[in-house]
Amino acid sequence: MTFSIVGSLTELIIAVLSTVGLPGLLALMAVESFGLPPIPSEVILPFTGFLVADGTFPFAGAAAVALVGGLVGAFAAYAIGRWWRHRILGLGVGRLKLEPHHLERVDRYFARRGESTVALTRMVPVIRSYISYPAGTAKMDPVKFGVYTLLGSIPFTVGLIYAGTVLRSNWTAVAAYLSYLDYPLIALIVGIVLFFLLQIGGYLEPGWPPRRRARNSESSAGSNPPDARES
């Protein structure tokens, strides 16, 4: 593959961190946590660790800036999810339309498992950047959202920065293999598109986890023979 998605993002991240410094790290982590456009923290944080090992950044300062940037992006996404709560009703194509009962399902889930979900998904690549949107839509308490976002982000952030300090000069060798991440990234995008197409086509019920769509009750009623007692 001559063009590498992850490789191109890696070059951008290296350029920003090398020239802008800690403010660049703050901006990159805010964008990463916001999720649009997708920028991998799995590249930002290890390269930050390399710069720590190189003496460019202090470890504690880099970790603090990365965590603050992540919180800024997370709250921005949370605010959009909360603000768009009732504006997204009715949006969609065909059978894939958001109805009030979909919001009720999200509300019930976050009322039961919101805190643990936010904390745990902050340690899961890709998903960590998008969990803020449904949390905002469910109107999760903003203080709890911030606390559990921070609790989940600390081990992820500190761990990847420390890994970068261990890699040190081997970072360039590791970066050469980052292009292989293109394949799972492309597979993920294709899977998401296919998932939504199956919902639009009526083969799957809207929502998660995937469920086959039940037969329409109207069609089953129409298949019943007329009552023999009718004249």
CA–CA dist 152, 114 (Å, integer): 13
Percent of the chain with pLDDT over 70: 65
Is 60 exceeded by the pLDDT of residue 74? yes
- Residue 174 pLDDT greater than 70, yes or no: no
Which of the two residues, 114 and 72, has the higher pLDDT score?
72
**What pLDDT does 95 receive?**
57
Answer yes or no: is pLDDT of 102 > 50. Answer: yes
Query: What mean pLDDT comes out for the span 15-34?
Result: 94
SS3 state at 160: helix
Q: Tokens at residue 14, please?
A: 């290296």
Is residue 110 within 8 A of residue 138, CB to CB? The reply is yes
- Helix, strand or coil, per DSSP, at residue 216: coil
Indicate if the pLDDT at residue 228 is higher than 50. no
Q: Is 177 helix (H, G, I), strand (E, B) or coil?
A: coil
- Is pLDDT of 19 > 90? yes
Per-residue pLDDT, 1: 39
Contact 41, 75 (CB under 8 A): no
* Residues near 26 by beta carbon (within 8 Å), at least 6 away in sequence: 65, 66, 68, 69, 72
If one compares 203 and 96, the residue with the highest pLDDT of the two is 203
Q: Once rounded to an integer, what is the mean pLDDT over residues 57-85?
A: 94
In this prediction, residue 105 has a pLDDT band, given cuts at 50, 70 and 90, of: confident
What pLDDT is recorded for position 230?
45
DSSP state of 226: P
Question: Could you tell me the pTM of the whole model?
Answer: 0.72
Angstrom distance (rounded) from CA 62 to CA 52: 8
Average pLDDT value for residue range 18-45? 90
